[in-house]
């Protein structure tokens, strides 16, 4: 029992039965054998519990054991070496997080998407609320990185309905039908094991699985419970194209204008505040980027099967530059548009608080903030708030659902590739117009001007008009060069903004699909168990009903995505083409002006 | 007297008193001392005469003289070494002309101009008429060579009225007032010395001077004589802007169409014939490029102060390629336009013969051709055909003429630079449109198509119209890319054709200006001589009158140049801008089509 391990990374316990680790901390291990990726041990605070095996390195030199320190240990299995770190304390302070643990950190390691892809939800403490963590982030996102931002979904999932990680769960079928007490002898304890555990279908021990993290698994297994207020209810209804979110009865928009620089602490700190005016209240409020960021964090946590639009990218430097502010404002406006367009997001409390709480009422803001952070209807409980259509007409065919979700998965992959491609092309095209196209037209203008200057030496009175017309033609081509350089701002930039927003959604969907597929697998499992007489029909029916709720929500979300996609791409393509037409008309007009100069030659 | 020299280049005698040389030929020299660039000697045919000193290398090894060959020599001063070449005969056959003699060949070494700049006038033998020398020329012109095609006029002329070469003549002022017999003792003989030589103003011994070559000097000195038929008379009149050529009372145009491949010698030889239809006769004739080339040669020889338009470039290879034929046809059409537009050229006999002689009447063609080649009103005699305005109103102020010609010189230099610049820019711009612009628009089209293909995977009936609209937009951008690639043919190519034609004219003017300046200098000289009592006033007046004829002709030619320049650049710029406008309208129309596709989304 004198086995020890050193923590390679920080790890924060988030479930009962888990313990937190600090990088470099030495722990005593209860056993060297991991239980599906988890080890049990005692940390330097004397807390005993589970932690991910991949976060520690077992120390293989137990030969000479130093004497136990004075004062002994709180726990019998406290290792003789105590909890003193193997490295000097200086290495702890500050506790810099190095490379994140590659495997266990995220079920799908997402490459940074142009729209705040490597987004980290804030932990929402009032104390650090006024810190400028949004603006001073040293980890700048890298928008426009070449190559697909699409998570390596197929590689992880193998194209089948269950991902490699997810199979960790289905492999534990050996313990099927057994109670906790019947689990392998060396497993004293497992994450969440202390909670209600009436499931007879196996649980996924990998808490990093989105299915588990989202609360989807707990919900499907019937472990969620809570009181759903009428105001929290979300309805999926049957529309002409299948399940969809019930429309917001009070639709509204919200403008984001007038980004202004503000200061506090007597000018020590400065930041940009945006004026928001929701159309339903007409009352303006001012919000900073970090307020948006906080809201995003809450929403991403609360809604596991909804694609919360990503915020525009963070930027480490130049945050007060006009171009950046203007670009961010446009990004936030797009974000706001998608928030207001979503029947569920538009009506949720945290968003309402964000849109309506007076900017000057600090107290009311903090109250609403705390309330949102204490929302119990998150995770597994969130699914309780979803009402779905009932009756034979609304019955979902499992195979059809699976095929539709698979189809959507292929679609998102292809759409992600093509939006990446279009973004790249548009970016290059814009760059060429600003540089090459402009230069070429201006060189032509310059040459015409040169010819007109030569002609001015001709001493011929009768050619003065020609010389002027030539000079004007030169200027016209110079102006056309400028038109080219200015044009991308009018047409290509908005297209790229839209594409960035959609790349954010496309980065969300793998998780959403993952939750739905996890639920579907549970249904299949339970059906097999019923056939094998290992499960009561009633229990299996409950699993299927709850899975259907997730499927309805997923299909509604997919429908919503398609709806706003068609709406957005239609309007943006129209905008783009109109701007292009205006541009070419402007060029034509300039040339016509030049042509008319020759009338008097 | 045993001095020998070896010819470095071929030299063909063209004046009495000169002898021809063949490259490598060994000559005996009468004296080692050159007379203003000329040496006297005996060539291998036993002919004695002058040849350019720079064409030979004096052989400095006269020590061991071989015995005189049997049979002796025809001439007393025949060198003992005879005329046997120092190199084996094989080196003579074929007599390949190597690098042209750099200094003596041309008063202004002209770099090849885009329009047949290194043109060599044909020698006009009926025997070789059917040879395809026009097409099989191994010395291809190099059109579009970077750098100015403008002759190094200032370098030669030093910016003053007399060029370095020309000063050779004025330097011989020492012999002023002397007769031929009083010329430096060692000069037994000089070019043209056998002809009428009543001049008291010095002659330019450098026969390569344009002033001399053109016959301008001989004319000014009153040496030209001949019977001018009424039909040969050319009138300079006073127009609102000064001297101009009397308008052609029967103006006409001539179309050049239908280039067709024809064969002869049972298909052994093939060539392209162009159909010419002069508007005044309406009778079509067929002419080959070499017929144009022959005509050009005749005209360039006959008219020393007229800028005969250059023919479009020759091309060594690919002369049957469609693009080349089409390009040549357009070039010939431009050339024809300038021929018909010129009051003097349009009415001259050789051109009339060219335009009217039936293509099938071989005999008539050869007769007219021979007649043109035997035309006596060339060179010095040509100037006899010019009638100028008389009376006090028409009196030319020498200084004003000089200032106008100098101004025109500056103008042509600047115009040449700027047309070179514009040609280069237009060429680059065309290249960019055919490559880069096309590629960029097609990449955008490709990306839109990619997005529409992704969208087609969406399984949503309500988005079919969007997908189609996107696909159409992709095709529209693809088409716009093609528009860009096709456009230069419509607008930039004609501009470049025009510029090439004008570059030909600009290459002609230094010679024309040179002749006028030569005449002007003779007047100044004669005035000085009169002041110094060395010349009779009457003689000086004759020189001035004849110089005035050249000045009138030069100013008329300058005026004509400005007139057609303003006309051509006006119409070409209008054409260019109209084509550009049509192009951008076509692009706009394509985009509008695409935009309308979104109406039904």
| Residue of A241, A414, A577 lying closest to B595 (CB–CB) | A577
**Are B562 and A414 a contacting pair at CB < 8 A?**
no
CB of A383 within 8 A of CB of A552? Answer: no
Note if the bond before B203 is cis, omega within 30 degrees. Answer: no
**Which residues in chain A touch residue B434, judged by CB atoms under 8 angstroms apart?**
none
The continuous run of DSSP H or E covering A435 comes out as none
B240 to chain A, closest Cα gap in Å: 10
Cβ <8 Å between A443 and B425: yes
pLDDT of residue A61: 57
Least confident of A8-12, A34-38, A455-459, B555-559: A34-38
Give the pLDDT score at B42.
86
* A234-239/A386-387 β-pairing: parallel
- Say what the pLDDT of residue B4 is: 86
Average pLDDT of the residues in B251-269 = 86
pLDDT tens digits along B537-565: 999 999 999 999 999 999 999 999 999 99
Residue A562: which of B404, B448, B463 has the nearest Cβ?
Answer: B463
Q: How far apart are CA A420 and CA B451, in angstroms?
A: 10
Confidence (pLDDT) at A291? 94
Tell whether the model's pLDDT for residue B465 goes beyond 90: yes
**What number of residues does chain A have?**
601
Q: Which residue of chain B comes nearest to A583, CA vs CA?
A: B588
**Chain B residues inside the 8 Å CB shell of A448:** 422
Contacts of A185 by beta carbon, 8 Å cutoff, 6+ apart: none
Q: How many residues does chain B have?
A: 601
Q: What is the dihedral of CA B121, B126, B129, B133, to 10 degrees?
A: -40
Query: Alpha carbon A119 to chain centroid distance?
Result: 6
Query: Which pLDDT score, from 0 to 100, does residue B2 have?
Result: 57
- A49-83 burial, b at 16+ Cβ within 10 Å, e below that, comes to bbbbbbbbeebeeeeeeeeeeeeebeeeebbebbb
Nearest by CB to residue A444, choosing from B429, B460, B591, is B429
The b/e string for A329-364 (b: 16+ C-beta within 10 A; e otherwise) is bebbbbbbbbbbbbbbbbbbbbbbbbbebeeeeeee
CA angle B384, B388, B390 (to 5 degrees): 125
Q: Across residues B72-83, what is the average pLDDT? A: 37
**Tens of pLDDT, residues B380-402:** 889 999 999 988 878 889 899 99
pLDDT in tens, B264-289: 777 777 889 999 999 999 999 999 99
pLDDT digits (tens, 9 = 90+) for A335-371: 999 999 999 999 999 999 999 999 889 899 999 999 9
Question: Between B418, B447, B587, which is nearest A584 by CB?
Answer: B587
* CB-based contact B581 A574, cutoff 8 Å: no
Give the Cα separation of B408 and B512 in Å (integer): 11
Comparison of pLDDT for A374 and B226, the residue scoring more: A374
Q: Which of B406, B422, B585 to mutate to test the interface with A (most CBs of A within 10 A)?
A: B422
Given a contact cutoff of 8 angstroms between Cβ atoms, the answer to whether A549 and A388 are in contact is yes
Q: What is the pLDDT of residue B516?
A: 93
Q: How confident is the model at residue A21 (pLDDT cuts 50, 70, 90)?
A: confident
Integer Cα distance of A345 and A499 in angstroms: 21
Which candidate, A520, A274, A250, A542, places its Cα nearest to that of A406?
A: A520
* CB-CB contact of B112 with B314 (8 Å): no
Order of all β-strands in the sheet with A269-278:
A254-264, A269-278, A285-288
Query: Is B315 within 8 Å of B142 (Cβ atoms)?
Result: no
A463·B418 Cβ contact <8 A = no
Distance from CA of B563 to the nearest CA of A (A): 9
> Which chain B residues are Cβ-neighbours of A410 within 8 angstroms?
457
Minimal CA separation from A595 to chain B, in Å: 6
Q: From A416, which residue of chain B is nearest by alpha-carbon distance? A: B454
Nearest to B577 among A415, A460, A591 (CB): A591
For residue B41, the tally of other CB atoms under 10 A from its CB is: 24
Distance from C-alpha of B285 to C-alpha of B298, rounded to nearest angstrom: 20
pLDDT tens per residue across span A485-511: 999 999 999 999 999 999 999 999 999
Please report residues of B whose CB lies closer than 8 A to that of A422: 447-448, 450-451
Give me B539's structure tokens: 């003689």
CA distance B569 to B492: 13
Tell if the CB–CB gap between B447 and A587 is shorter than 8 Å. no
Burial of A277 (0-12, 13-18, 19+ CB in 10 A): middle
Contact A595 B587 (CB under 8 A): no
Q: Which residue among A440, A462, A473 places its CB closest to the CB of B566? A: A462
Burial class of residue A231 in the structure, from the number of CB atoms within 10 Å of its CB (0-12 exposed, 13-18 middle, 19+ buried): exposed
**Which tokens is A98 given?**
């190095």
Looking at CA atoms only, how far is residue A408 from chain B in angstroms?
Answer: 7
Contacts of A446 in chain B (CB under 8 A): 425
The answer to whether A573 contacts B460, with C-beta atoms less than 8 Å apart, is no
Over residues A392-405, the pLDDT tens digits come to: 878 889 899 999 99
Interface touch B447/A577, C-beta < 8 Å: no
A-chain residue closest to B499, CA distance: A451
Helix (H) or strand (E) holding B254: strand B254-264
Nearest CA-CA partner of A117 in A503, A568, A512: A503
Min Cα–Cα distance to chain A from B593, Å: 10
A456 to chain B nearest CA, in Å?
Answer: 8
Residue A256's DSSP bridge partners are: A276
The encoded tokens of residue B388 equal 């100028």
- The distance of B51 to chain A (nearest Cα, Å) reads 42
Q: Are strands A269-278 and A56-59 parallel, antiparallel or unpaired?
A: unpaired
Interface touch A562/B444, C-beta < 8 Å: no
Distance (Å) from the alpha carbon of A166 to chain B's nearest alpha carbon? 26
pLDDT of res. A335: 96
- Which residues of chain A does B458 touch, with a Cβ-Cβ cutoff of 8 Å? 411, 562, 565
Distance from CA of A458 to the nearest CA of B (A): 6
Selected residue of A415, A491, A584, A586 to mutate for chain B interface (largest B Cβ count, 10 A): A584
């Amino acid at each position: 029992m004198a086995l020890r391990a050193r923590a390679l990374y920080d790890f924060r316990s988030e479930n009962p039965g888990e313990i937190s680790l600090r990088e470099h901390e030495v722990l005593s291990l209860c056993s060297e054998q991991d239980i599906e990726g988890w080890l049990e041990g005692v940390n330097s605070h004397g807390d005993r519990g589970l932690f991910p095996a991949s976060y520690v390195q077992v120390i293989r030199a137990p030969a000479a054991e130093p004497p136990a320190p004075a004062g002994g240990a709180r726990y019998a299995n406290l290792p003789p070496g105590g909890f003193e770190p193997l490295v000097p304390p200086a290495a702890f302070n500050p506790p810099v997080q190095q490379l994140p643990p590659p495997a266990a950190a995220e079920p799908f390691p997402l490459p940074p998407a142009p729209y705040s892809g490597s987004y980290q939800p804030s932990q929402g403490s009032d104390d650090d609320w006024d810190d400028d963590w949004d603006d001073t982030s040293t980890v700048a996102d890298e928008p426009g990185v070449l190559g697909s931002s699409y998570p390596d979904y197929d590689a992880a999932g193998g194209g089948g309905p269950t991902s490699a990680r997810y199979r960790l769960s289905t492999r534990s079928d050996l313990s099927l039908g057994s109670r906790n007490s019947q689990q392998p002898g060396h497993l004293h304890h497992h994450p969440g094991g202390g909670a209600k555990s009436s499931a007879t279908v196996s649980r996924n021990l990998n808490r990093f699985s989105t299915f588990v993290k989202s609360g989807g698994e707990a919900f499907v297994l019937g472990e969620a419970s809570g009181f759903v207020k009428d105001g929290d209810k979300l309805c999926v209804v049957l529309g002409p194209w299948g399940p969809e979110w019930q429309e917001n009865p009070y639709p509204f928009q919200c403008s984001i204008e007038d980004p202004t620089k503000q200061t506090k602490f007597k000018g020590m700190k400065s930041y940009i505040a945006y004026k928001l005016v929701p159309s339903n209240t007409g009352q303006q409020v001012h919000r900073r980027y970090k307020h948006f960021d906080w809201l995003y964090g809450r929403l991403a946590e609360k809604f596991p099967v909804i694609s919360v639009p990503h915020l525009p990218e963070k930027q480490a430097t130049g945050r007060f530059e006009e171009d950046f502010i203007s670009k961010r404002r446009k990004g936030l406006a797009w974000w706001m548009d998608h928030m207001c367009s979503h029947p569920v997001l538009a009506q949720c409390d945290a968003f309402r608080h964000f849109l309506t709480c007076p900017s000057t009422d600090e107290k009311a803001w903090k109250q609403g903030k705390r309330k949102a952070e204490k929302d119990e209807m998150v995770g597994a409980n969130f699914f309780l708030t979803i009402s779905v259509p009932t009756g034979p007409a609304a019955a979902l065919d499992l195979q059809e659902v699976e095929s539709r979700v698979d189809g959507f998965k292929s679609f998102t992959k292809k759409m992600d590739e093509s939006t990446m491609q279009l973004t790249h092309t548009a970016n290059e095209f814009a760059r060429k117009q600003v540089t090459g196209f402009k230069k070429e037209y201006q060189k032509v203008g310059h040459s015409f001007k040169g010819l007109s200057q030569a002609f001015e030496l001709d001493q011929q009175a009768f050619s003065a008009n020609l010389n002027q017309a030539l000079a004007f033609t030169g200027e016209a081509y110079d102006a056309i060069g400028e038109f080219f350089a200015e044009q991308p701002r009018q047409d290509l930039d908005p297209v790229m903004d839209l594409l960035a927003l959609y790349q954010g959604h496309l980065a969300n969907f793998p998780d959403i699909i993952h939750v739905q597929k996890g639920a579907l697998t549970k249904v299949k499992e339970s059906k097999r168990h019923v056939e094998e007489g290992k499960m009561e029909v009633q229990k299996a029916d409950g699993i299927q009903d709850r899975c259907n709720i997730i499927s309805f929500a997923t299909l509604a979300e997919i429908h919503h995505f398609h709806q706003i996609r068609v709406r957005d791409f239609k309007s943006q393509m129209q905008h783009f083409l109109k701007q292009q037409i205006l541009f070419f008309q402007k060029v034509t007009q300039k040339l016509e002006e030049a042509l008319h100069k020759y009338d008097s030659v």
